[in-house]
Structures are given as C-alpha cells and as structure tokens.
Chains A and B, each alone.
Chain A
Amino acid sequence: MQLESKIPPGPLEKKWEYAKAHYKLVNPANKRKYDIIVVGAGLAGASAAASMGELGYNVKCFVYHDSPRRAHSIAAQGGINAAKNYRNDGDSIYRLFYDTIKGGDYRAREGNVYRLAELSVNIIDQAVAQGVPFAREYGGTLENRSFGGVQVSRTFYARGQTGQQLLLGAFQAQERQIALGTVKQYNRHEMLDLVVVDGHAKGIVTRNLVNGRIEAHFADAVVLGTGGYVNVFYLSTNAKASNATAIWRAYKRGAALANPCYTQIHPTCIPQSGDFQSKLTLMSESLRNDGRIWVPKEPGDKRPPRQIQESERDYYLERKYPSFGNLAPRDIASRAAKEACDEGKGIGASGRGVYLDFADAIKRLGRNVIEERYGNLFEMYHDITAEDPYEAPMRIYPAPHYAMGGLWVDYNLMTTIPGLYCIGEANFSDHGANRLGASALMQGLADGYFVLPVTIGDYLATQFGKKVTAELPEFAAAVADVKDRVNRLVSAKGTRSVDSYHKELGSIMWEYCGMARSAEGLKKALTMIRELRDQYWRDVRVTGAGEELNQALEKAGRVADFFELAELMCIDALHREESAGGHFRVEYQTPDGEAQRRDDEFLYVAAWEYKGEGNEPVLHKEPLVYEEVKLATRSYK
C-alpha cells in the first residue's frame, strides 16, 4: 500500500488554486453518463449529493433513516467557523488555519487545513443564499460568537440549532435535485459492504431495512459520508444509530484507516444518571462563553452549590489557563474535569461532575440576554435533569463526542481504494488529534459543497467507458458475504441482548481507551475485547428474522463491527507512545500534567491496512511535513 497524499506543489495559499487548475475535467454533456453512489446524507453527504447533482452527475444517495434530514449533523448545536473577520478582531484565513493546526496538536496536514480555512467563507455565503437563518445584529448583518481554543469571534450560529439549520439547507438543495431527477434517493437502506472490481470501488451492497432484501448497486465512484464512530463507547453524544459499519467494511476491502485512536471527549455533557441511560446529551460549548466552570476546593464537599462561598471554589480552568480560561480547547478542558474528579472534588451523586455556573453572567448581562443566547439549551437541560440552570449551576461531565480518526484520504478526499471517496467526520483529514469547536460543520460542508464535486471529476475522467454492471461476479460474491453474515447473526440464538454486549464493550473502551490511556491498560483492553467478541458471536441473542424490519438485527451488525474497530483503536493507541490532543497516554505528560508530544518519533499519520481475519493489521506512516507552521508545545496558559 502506497500513501500518496497528493498535496499540490507551491505556496500554501496557492495549492488549492493550483490543484483546481490541473484537475482533469468531465465535459458537461458527459456528466450524466456517470453514476456516483453517496452513502449518508449528513452535512457532507447531502451537500455532496446536491452539488454533484447540480453539476449533472447521476447520484444515488443511500441513508438508513426514513428521510435524509435525520442524519446526526442535525444535532450540532453551537455553530460553524468561518474566517470572515466581520468582527474586525484580527481574524483571517491564515489565523483560522493556524488555530486549527495548533488545536489539532500539530497532527493534521497543512495543505488540507489551509484549504478548509479558505473555503470556510464560501460556506457561509452558500448557506445564507439557501435561507439558513443565522443570528443577526440589529443592523441586519451576521452575528458571531467565540468558541474554544481561539481568541477571535468567528462562529456563526442559528440559536442552539446551527447543525439543524445547515443540514436543512443542504437537505433542501438535495430534495431539489431529487425532484429534478439528478439524485435518486434510497431511504431506509443500510450499506453493508463495498464492491471492489479490479482494485476500483464500483458499488455497494445494501440491506433494505423494511423488507430485509439484500441488493447490489453499481456506480463509477463511491462516496462515504457516514459519520463518526464514537458510539463504540456505547454512551456518547452521538445518535443511537450512528455507527462505523460503512467505513469498517471499506477498511476490510482495502481502504486504510487512519488515526483511529484520536477520539474527542467533549467537556460539557450532562452526566450519566443511571444504568438505564441510553445516551449522553451535549451542552453546547458556546455555553463556556458565559458560564464559569468550578468545583469545590475541598474534596468531598457535598454542600449545595449556592452554599459554597466564592473563596471555597476552584475555577480550575481560569486558574490553570488564564489567557483562555473557560474557553480552553476541548481535550484540555475534559482532562482538567477528570483530574478534579479524580482528586475527589467531583460534584453530584456519582462524584463525576463539575459545575458550569451562569450566576455571574446573569448578574452582568441580565437573564434576558442569557435566555436569548442559550434559551433552548437551558430548556433542554431542565427537561433532562428537572433542575433550573438559571437558579442552580449546571452539572456537566465529559463524554465521547467526535472521531478525528477515520478513513485515510489524500488531498482529493480519495481513500487508498481508487474511486472510493470519504468525506466529513468519516475521514481523518483536517482535525489532527483534536478538533476545535464549530469546525466539524465547516469541514463536512467544505468537503461536500466545494472539494469533492471538483476532485471527483479528476478520477471519473479516467473511467470513461469502464462502466460495470451488477452482473459481475464481484457483486454476487459481496452479496453472498453479506447474506452469510446476516444469517450468522439471526441464527445466533444465544442468551444476551446486543445492547448488553455493547454496554460492556463501551465500558471497557471508556476505562482503558478513553480520556487517559496506558500501555498496561490498553493491553488489558485488547484481551478483554477479544474475549468478549468471541463470546458475542456465540452468545448474542438476535430476535426476529432477516427478511423483515428488524432493529435487533440492525444493531447486532453494527456492534459486531464496533468490536473489531475497538481492537484497532487500542492497537493504534498502544503504538502511539506520545500524548497528542485527544490521545493522552499517562506515561507521556509534562510535570504539570499536560500532553507530551514526541515529534521526533510520531510526527506522522498512522494508516492501518487490513491483512485478513486473525492477522495483525499493518501500519503505514504518512510523514507530516510542516512548511509554514513552526512546531511548538501547545500552550493555552
């Protein structure tokens, strides 16, 4: 396997222009002769499907929901970054680029990130033209707020529902193409395998979730925009159905998977309240603009928060990171919360929580302003906890939120399988070892609206006249594989439910591959995961049949893949003997407990190649070359 990043030559700010000038093009009249499969319709998938449909390609879009608008992008709350510099506070494309590289702890590609920063401004223009109702100033211009890890205000938002509004923009554009016939929509279809013909991705195998039918679909190129994999932890902020199956199937067909150990634990989520808990709910990072995070100074202090005097509180982020304070990046804020709880200062019944307090902000700005800024988030918090955050501080704790790792892609977003593209959270490309707040929406839309529709032509132009049909033996073989797997799952009439296994896997991952990792713990986790996986295939109980709507079966397949992915995450975390961003190895920290990178040995992307059942995956290294940014120890003090 060769990892060719295909970063264009020339200075950073000219690379994308150079690339666009040199891509092969597909003649407008020929575009309709190409079929492109897009799997997933979140921000990345929907914007890609719509934009490629507008160009005239024949797009087939597959989602497992009943409508493309249900994709998990819809739940993003806080905002989207763009280097518009509307606030005149010194922002620029370069600064957004630099903040993203630094925020990612110097583990992302310069070329990709610079392009992302350049395109950020076009995304805002496009979204506004589509009718996305971003927050406005009284004069009618666009409003901004700040987010973690930066010192400018560049985040655009639509109340606490920015993801929803951006996704509706993309969804509406996609529905328009469906009406025009350029996009053919397949709802309630789940991709269960990738079809590779002569080394090129030429189709997928899906299961119709209503009647259980297994079908093959062919195309000239396949695009995966299937999101992240932190549901491997069972409890996460992801939607319940979010899963890794599409990228995992691609990995097993030859696509390299990069940096799987880079997962983001978000600092501000509502703590778990019991064993019945099915997911964790995020409280937007934007709350840290006005909320102050604290714990009691005295371990074990269980008095109600309002009885704890100012002098008895530890505003630990403000104390440790005075220049960024409560807006320290996510990985740092999460670890600091864990540290406080490990010291016995955690609040709430479980002792795994810290306060996010708005009392000062309400005093300074008035309740109305706080209500206008965060009203829906406060309501959500109240619905879930039955506590009023206007009166008592919120209780929060970190939770798995985002996967920086994903399928390895080159600058053109193509994986190591020619013709297979990967966009949005599903790829590994832009966030390094830690993603900054409000950058996921930006990346998903940059990939889908502006990058992929251009880069895919460069590949398609080489495929003219190489059309395949679903009659090829490769399709029959993939269909047979999928049927076999489905049959194995439905015939496993064991004793325990899928969820009970998923919970157990999740707690292993949280304990040993969560916020703090060690060689010893990771080795232990690997043994435990392998044992549990063997037991799973022998003992899982899947009710119902394959040829019907069967949610137990859907879950069973996804969890089976999570087991394998969990193993690779631990292998990756074990091999990376340094701390970087979301990957914190306890053996590698500075005397004051900060992450200790080891650039001399680990300045590379770790791309793993599948070598068959029972064989160790093979590591390929893509060296990271920094021409513009000087490597430094990340400091937010």
Chain B
Amino acid sequence: MNLTLHVWRQKSRESEGGFADYTATGISPDASFLEMLDVVNEELIAKGEEPIHFEHDCREGICGSCGMMINGTAHGPLGGTATCQLHMRHFNDGDEVWVEPWRARAFPVIKDLIVDRTPLDKIIQAGGYISVNTGSAVEANTIPIPKAVQERSMDAAECIQCGACVAQCPNGAAQLFTAAKISHLGLLPQGQPERYERVLKMVDVMEQHFGSCTLFRECEAVCPKGISTDFITRMNRDYLTARFGVR
C-alpha cells in the first residue's frame, strides 16, 4: 500500500514544530504502524535526513512507551490497542494520515512525537502503592480474595500508563489513569489501610498537573486496555468519603 503522511516534526522542547509531508510506499498490510514508520525512516536516513523520532519499545502493546495521535485519535482508528499493535490492514491504499504527538499541557513535546509524561509517575509517587517493606509480608494464602474482586482489581491494574487518556481528553485530565491505580489497590484487602489517605494524596497531585474531568469519556474510548470510566466514579466516591464522609 501507499500512503501520504503528515508528521509533526519538532527539533526540541524549545523549538517550534510543524508538519512535514512524506510518502510511505510499498507498505505491507501486515506491518504495524510503527513498522511503517521504520520503513519511512530508513528512506529518510538514506537521504541523509534525520529519522522521525517516536517512543516505542516492547511493540507488544504492554510497555506503554508508544503513542501518537493518528488522524486526531490517540493510538489510531482501531480502538482497544496501542499504536504498536495497530496494523496497516486497518488503512486503505492511498490514505492520507496525520501523525502528531500527544497533545496535552502536562506533556510537553521533547522531540517530534516524543513527549514528557513525568507527571504520571508523580501521581504514583504520591501514594500509588501499598506500604509494605520487603520481608514483612504474611503467607500469601492468609489473605483470601474473592475471585470477582481480584478480577475487577486486575481490570484496573492492566493500565499501561501510555497517557492516551490524557491526550484524548479535551481537558487534558488524568482521571482515568489515577482512578485505575486507586481502584487496583483500593479494591483489594491489602490496600484498605491506606485507601482513603491514598485517594486524597493522589488526587491532590493529579490536580496540580492535569485538567479537570467533565466526563466526556473520550479516555475510555481510546484506552488500549479498555479501562472503564466506572473506576472514575469509584475514585470520586472514595474521595468524597475521605474528604467529608464517615470512613
């Protein structure tokens, strides 16, 4: 297949960016979107130009490194997938494709399609853990967990911290990401002792960096792991309980 690409190029955080046009020719429908960019990059290098920089690593949809806006949608048109698992068979020969970095105030562009997602780690540092030092754990089966609870917790724990939720949100909010971690831990018996402190601390840091949630639910639509906005409701309830309610 042949495609026309308009790709955001930006030399560094400080410099101005803009779209550059490329053609991708002879692309196999079995290639992934990133492999299509690899082909374009090889041609750029052959011409002595700098390749398009984009973040990627596992190329199996689990490390969360990759991500770009493809025709205005985070991770592209397929839904439920990271960019590395989007294959070219979902495009048509002759398509015109606009490729941009994540667009969010909290994620400044570092180069081309690479952005700085550090604020997501800051939210985890605020309380996205269970405080248990190595060596102090009890025997694993002394904490029985109903299968349904564990499954629900796992649904939230699958988040890959790619940032698509923030990028797609018109407000640049990180509610889905934060709620996923709060729910992963807050649903489990091990997570109870810190449950309410955790939600207060994490939401506080989230609000320092990101916009506010007005329930557009665009995050859920693009999440490569299909994480549900139900978790946002759950986070809000925990937050209100922590702030005003009887624990």
Instruction: Give residues in A with beta carbon < 8 Å to B.
Output: 47, 50-51, 54, 65-67, 69-70, 72, 74-75, 84, 86, 122, 124-131, 133-142, 158-159, 161, 164-165, 168, 171-173, 175-176, 178-179, 187, 210, 239-241, 273-274, 276-279, 281-282, 380, 383-386, 449-450, 453, 497, 499-500, 541, 543-544, 548-549, 551-552
Given A75-B58, A129-B136, A239-B63, verify A67-B117 contact (CB < 8 Å): yes
Complex Cα gap A548–B157 (Å): 35
Q: Does A126 lie within 8 Å of B63, measured CB to CB?
A: no
| B136 surroundings in chain A (CB, below 8 A) | 129
CA distance A131 to B189 in the complex (A): 9
Instruction: Judge whether B110 is part of the interface by a CB distance below 8 angstroms.
Output: yes
Closest to B130 in A: A131
Measured CB to CB, the closest approach of chain A to B96, in angstroms, equals 21
Cβ-defined partner of A173 (8 Å) among B129, B138, B139: B129
Inter-chain contacts of A552 with B (CB < 8 A): 45, 50-51
Task: Report yes or no: B191 in contact with A142, Cβ–Cβ below 8 A.
Answer: no
Residues on B lying within 8 angstroms of A by beta carbon are: 11-12, 27-28, 30-32, 34-36, 38-39, 42, 44-46, 48-51, 53, 55-65, 81, 85, 87, 89, 110-111, 114, 116-118, 120-121, 124-126, 128-141, 143-147, 150, 153-154, 157-158, 160-161, 184-185, 188, 190-191
User: Given contacts A126-B137, A278-B35, could you give 20 more A-B pairs where the C-beta distance is less than 8 Å?
Assistant: A69-B121, A72-B58, A74-B64, A122-B135, A125-B139, A129-B190, A131-B153, A131-B191, A133-B184, A136-B150, A159-B158, A165-B157, A175-B121, A239-B59, A240-B56, A240-B57, A276-B36, A278-B32, A449-B135, A543-B48
In Å, the complex CA distance between A142 and B89 comes to 40
Known pairs A173-B134, A175-B128; A133 contacts B147 (CB<8 A): no
Task: Name B's interface SS.
Answer: loop
Partner of A278, one of B11, B59, B89, B118: B59
- B57 near A241 with CB under 8 A, answer yes
Instruction: Enumerate 29 A-B pairs (CB-CB under 8 Å) in ascending A order.
Output: A66-B117, A67-B120, A69-B161, A70-B63, A84-B141, A122-B135, A128-B143, A129-B136, A129-B190, A135-B150, A136-B145, A136-B146, A140-B146, A175-B125, A176-B129, A179-B126, A187-B118, A210-B110, A240-B56, A273-B28, A278-B32, A279-B59, A384-B85, A386-B89, A449-B134, A500-B42, A541-B48, A548-B11, A549-B12
Q: For the complex, give the distance between the alpha carbons of A51 and B141 in Å.
A: 23
Kindly list chain A residues whose C-beta atoms are within 8 Å of the C-beta of B46.
Answer: 497
Chain B's closest residue to A499 (CB) is: B42
Residue in B65, B134, B188 whose CB lies within 8 Å of A66: B65
- Whether A384 touches B12, Cβ cut-off 8 Å, given contacts A70-B57, A133-B153, A279-B59, is no
CA distance A50 to B137 in the complex (A): 15
A47-B134, A161-B158, A380-B85 known; A240 vs B59 contact (CB < 8 Å): yes
When C-beta atoms are compared, the residue in chain A nearest to B129 turns out to be A172
Cβ–Cβ contact B38 & A278, under 8 A:
yes
